[in-house]
C-alpha cells in the first residue's frame, strides 16, 4: 500500500510527509463512529445557521450547505455513501469531504471557528441522548409487562429463598415485582443521566472558545439540548457523561443478570417453575432433548461485557492532562457498543417475560411445612412469648419433626405441648401457606393486597414517566 497523502487530510497542511498506512488505520474511527452520521449532520446544519446569523455565510451558501448535508444524510440512510479509505478518518471528515464534492467551495466555510474536539462531543451527546430516550421507553415496556404478568399470576405461591435455601412462602408475583423494583430504580437514575448528557459543547472551539461571537444558546436550543456546557476547556475533554452511561448501564445489567439467573435456575428440571418460550431458547447440536435458555445466559454474560467497558474507560480517563487528548477517542466505541447491548438486553428480557410459561403447580409442590416455622414462632408471640424464645421453640419443633421423620404439621399436639404448653388446637391454622402470605400485608409485603398495591404503583409510575 502507498502512504496516505498528507494534504488529503483536514489537518495535512502542516505536514510535508505522508502518514503511515498502519498509522492511518490506527488513528481512524469511522469504522465505528459512522453510526453518528445523523447527529453529525444535525450539528453541522445548526452550526451553519449560527454562522449565517454572523453573516459569515450568505443565504445562498446556507441553502447550499443545508441541502448538501441533507443529501449526505440520505446517502447514509440508503447505504449509498462511499467511504474514501485514504482520507475519511472519522464521521466528521467523511461528511465534510462528501459535502465539498456535492456543493463545491461553499463547503469550506462550514468549519469556520469549529473544531472536531467540540464536534465529536456534540455528536456523541446527541446520539446518546436519542438512544437513551429509546431505552427509557423500552424499560417502561419491561415494567408494564412485569406488572401485567404479576397481576395475572397473583394466586400462585412459591418458595422464597435466601442463600438459595427455601425460606418462607411468597407470591410468584412478589418475586417478579422484586426485580421490577430494581428496574424502576434504573429508570429513575436514567433520567438524571439523560439530563447531564444533554449539555451542549458546540461553540467552545478546540479548547479556548469561539472568536466570532457564535450564539451558543441558539445552537443548544436548536439541537434540543437542555443546557449549554459552561467551560470550553472542560467541554472538549468532558467524557463524564460516557462514564455515567457506562456505570448506569453496569448497574442495570447487574439487575437484568440477576433476573436472568433466577429464571435460568427456575427453568431447570430440578425446579420446573417456569419454561422459556421457544422464541428465546436454542437447542443442542448433540442432545436432541435439550432446550437451553440462551437468551438469559447471553444477558448474564453481556453484563460482564458492559462492566468491563466501564472500568476500562475509567482506566483510560484517569491520568489525562487538561483538555482534549486522542485517548478520548476510546470513549466512542464502548459507549456505542454499551448502549446497543443494553437496548437489546432490555427488549429480550421483555420478550422472555411476556412469553414465559409459569408452572404454578410445580411451585406449590415445592412448598414445605418447615417454611412455616417462623409462623409457628409468630403464633407464640401473639400469646405473649418473647420472639427470641419463640424462635428457639420453633427450632426445637423442626428438630423433633426431623427426628420423627415427619413434617412439622404432622406432629401431634401433645408433642408440641411438651415443648411449650401454650400450643392449643388452633395451632393447626398456622400450617396454611395462603394464610402465611396473607398475614404479611404491610406495605411492600407478599399478601395479595400488598402485591396489588405494588402493581398499581408501577403502573402509575410508568404512566407518569
DSSP result, 52-85? HHTTSS-HHHHHHHHHHHHHHHHHHHTT-PPP-T
Neighbours of 285 (CB within 10 A): 7
Q: What is the largest CA-CA distance in the chain?
A: 101
Q: Which of 284, 311, 392, 449 is catalytic?
A: 284
Q: Is 405 exposed, middle or buried (0-12, 13-18, 19+ CB in 10 A)?
A: exposed
| Contact criterion met (CB below 8 Å) for 371 and 446 | no
Residue listed under C-alpha cell 447514509: 76
Task: Please tell me the distance from the alpha carbon of residue 57 to that of residue 48, in angstroms, as a whole number.
Answer: 8
Quote the cell numbers at residue 349: 428480557
Of 255, 233, 95, give the one whose Cα is nearest residue 178. Answer: 255
Quote the cell numbers at residue 336: 456505542
| Contact criterion met (CB below 8 Å) for 289 and 322 | no
Task: Please tell me the distance from the alpha carbon of residue 53 to that of residue 357, in angstroms, as a whole number.
Answer: 61
Quote the cell numbers at residue 256: 437484568
Task: Please tell me the distance from the alpha carbon of residue 15 to that of residue 316, in angstroms, as a whole number.
Answer: 28
Neighbours of 445 (CB within 10 A): 19
Let me know if 163 is a catalytic residue.
yes
Of 233, 234, 293, 301, give the one whose Cα is nearest residue 268. Answer: 293
| Contact criterion met (CB below 8 Å) for 258 and 179 | yes
Angle between helices 294-317 and 240-266 (to 10 degrees): 160
| HSE value, Cβ hemisphere, 13 Å, CA-based, for 419 | 24
Let me know if 316 is a catalytic residue.
no
Q: Which residues are tagged catalytic?
A: 163, 284
Amino acid at each position: 500500500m502507498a502512504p496516505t497523502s498528507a494534504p488529503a487530510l483536514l489537518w495535512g497542511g502542516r505536514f510535508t510527509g505522508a502518514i503511515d498506512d498502519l498509522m492511518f488505520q490506527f488513528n481512524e474511527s469511522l469504522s465505528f463512529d459512522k453510526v453518528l452520521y445523523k447527529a453529525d449532520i444535525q450539528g453541522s446544519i445548526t452550526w451553519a445557521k449560527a454562522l449565517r446569523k454572523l453573516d459569515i455565510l450568505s443565504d445562498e451558501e446556507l441553502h447550499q450547505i443545508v441541502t448538501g448535508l441533507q443529501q449526505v444524510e440520505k446517502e447514509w440512510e440508503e447505504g449509498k455513501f462511499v467511504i474514501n479509505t485514504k482520507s475519511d478518518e472519522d464521521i466528521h471528515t467523511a461528511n465534510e469531504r462528501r459535502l465539498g464534492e456535492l456543493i463545491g467551495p461553499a463547503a469550506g466555510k462550514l468549519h469556520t471557528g469549529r473544531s472536531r474536539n467540540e464536534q465529536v462531543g456534540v455528536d456523541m451527546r446527541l446520539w446518546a441522548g436519542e438512544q437513551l430516550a429509546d431505552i427509557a421507553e423500552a424499560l417502561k415496556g419491561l415494567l408494564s409487562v412485569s406488572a401485567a404478568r404479576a397481576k395475572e399470576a397473583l394466586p400462585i405461591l412459591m418458595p422464597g429463598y435466601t442463600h438459595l435455601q427455601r425460606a418462607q412462602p411468597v407470591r410468584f408475583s412478589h418475586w417478579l415485582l422484586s426485580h421490577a423494583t430494581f428496574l424502576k430504580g434504573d429508570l429513575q437514575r436514567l433520567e438524571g443521566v439523560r439530563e447531564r448528557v444533554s449539555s451542549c459543547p458546540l461553540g467552545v472551539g478546540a479548547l479556548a472558545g469561539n472568536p466570532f461571537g457564535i450564539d451558543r444558546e441558539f445552537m443548544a436550543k436548536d439541537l434540543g439540548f437542555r443546557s449549554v456546557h459552561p467551560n470550553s476547556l472542560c467541554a472538549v475533554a468532558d467524557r463524564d457523561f460516557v462514564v455515567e452511561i457506562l456505570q448506569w448501564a453496569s448497574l442495570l445489567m447487574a439487575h437484568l443478570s440477576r433476573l436472568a439467573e433466577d429464571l435460568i435456575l427456575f427453568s431447570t428440571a430440578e425446579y420446573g417453575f417456569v419454561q422459556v418460550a421457544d422464541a428465546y431458547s436454542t437447542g443442542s447440536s448433540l442432545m436432541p432433548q435439550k432446550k437451553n435458555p440462551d437468551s438469559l445466559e447471553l444477558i448474564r454474560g453481556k453484563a460482564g461485557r458492559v462492566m468491563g467497558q466501564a472500568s476500562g474507560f475509567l482506566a483510560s480517563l484517569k491520568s489525562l492532562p487538561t483538555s482534549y487528548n486522542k485517548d478520548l477517542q476510546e470513549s466512542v466505541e464502548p459507549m456505542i457498543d454499551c448502549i446497543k447491548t443494553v437496548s437489546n438486553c432490555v427488549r429480550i428480557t421483555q420478550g422472555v417475560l411476556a412469553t414465559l410459561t409459569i408452572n404454578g403447580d410445580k411451585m406449590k409442590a415445592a412448598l414445605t411445612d418447615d417454611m412455616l416455622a417462623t409462623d409457628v414462632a409468630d403464633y407464640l408471640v401473639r400469646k405473649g412469648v418473647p420472639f427470641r424464645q419463640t424462635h428457639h421453640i420453633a427450632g426445637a419443633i423442626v428438630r423433633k419433626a426431623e427426628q420423627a421423620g415427619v413434617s412439622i404439621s404432622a406432629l401431634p399436639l401433645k408433642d408440641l405441648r411438651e415443648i411449650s404448653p401454650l400450643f392449643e388446637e388452633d395451632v393447626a391454622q398456622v400450617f396454611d401457606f395462603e394464610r402465611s402470605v396473607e398475614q404479611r400485608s404491610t406495605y411492600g409485603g407478599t399478601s395479595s393486597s400488598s402485591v396489588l398495591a405494588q402493581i398499581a404503583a408501577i403502573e402509575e409510575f410508568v404512566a407518569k414517566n
